[in-house]
Structure 1
Amino acid sequence: MRIDRFLKVSRIIKRRTIAKEMADQGRIKVNDKTIKSSTKVQIGDILEVSFGNRTIKARILNLLETTKKSEAQDLYELVD
């Protein structure tokens, strides 16, 4: 699954276009590598998303094409 799609489905970022822009600006890392929006992610990958002065670090637990809002947080776990 593409990183921009995963970020939208997991609701870490609300819109896929915003996720794409953030990735293209270098504000998203997967396994400590800056990536493009078309990068494929897999279960077990570590994401690092920078929102201004705040950074979220999360491990991918599951990949689903669609999900309900209540199930979105089951796709990842926050990592320190």
Structure 2
Amino acid sequence: MRLDKFLKISRLIKRRTLAKEVADKGRISINGIPAKASSNVKVGDELTVNFGQKRVIVKIEKIQESTKKEDAADMYSIVKEEKISDSNRAADE
């Protein structure tokens, strides 16, 4: 499944167009490798997503073509969530 579609269906990011923008700006990596919106994701992959002041690392548990709001969180598990300081962000860019 495409990265942007997974982010939307799992509700990590609310809109697919926003997921595409975030990925194309280099704020998402799959298993430590920078990813584009068209990158494929599979079960077991670890996604690192940088949201402004926060970095979230999630592991993909399952992939579904569509899901209900209540079931979306079952598609991934949060490995780590951390606040990004200005010095850490500068080092990442």
TM range (shorter): over 0.9
Q: 1:35 and 2:1 equivalent?
A: no
Shift of the alpha carbon at 1:48? 0.5
Identity %: 50
SS in 2 for 1:58: strand
Shift of the alpha carbon at 1:53? 1.4
Q: 1:48 and 2:48 equivalent?
A: yes
Distance 2:36 2:70 in 1: 28
SS in 2 for 1:79: strand
Aligned residues: 80
Structure 2 gap segments, 5+ residues each: 81-93
Higher RCO (CA 8 Å, separation ≥ 6 residues):
1
Structure 1 gap segments, 5+ residues each: none
**Counterpart residue identity of residue 30, structure 1:** I
Name segments (4+ residues, structure 1) moved above 4 Å: none
Give runs of aligned pairs for residues 1-80 of structure 1, distance below 5 A: 1-80=1-80
The superposition leaves residues 20-50 of structure 1 with CA deviations (integer Å, 9 ceiling, x where unpaired) of: 0000000001000101100000000000000
Using structure 1 for the length normalisation, give the TM-score. Answer: 0.98
Shift of the alpha carbon at 1:57? 0.5
Shift of the alpha carbon at 1:76? 0.2
Tell me which structure has the larger Cα radius of gyration: 2
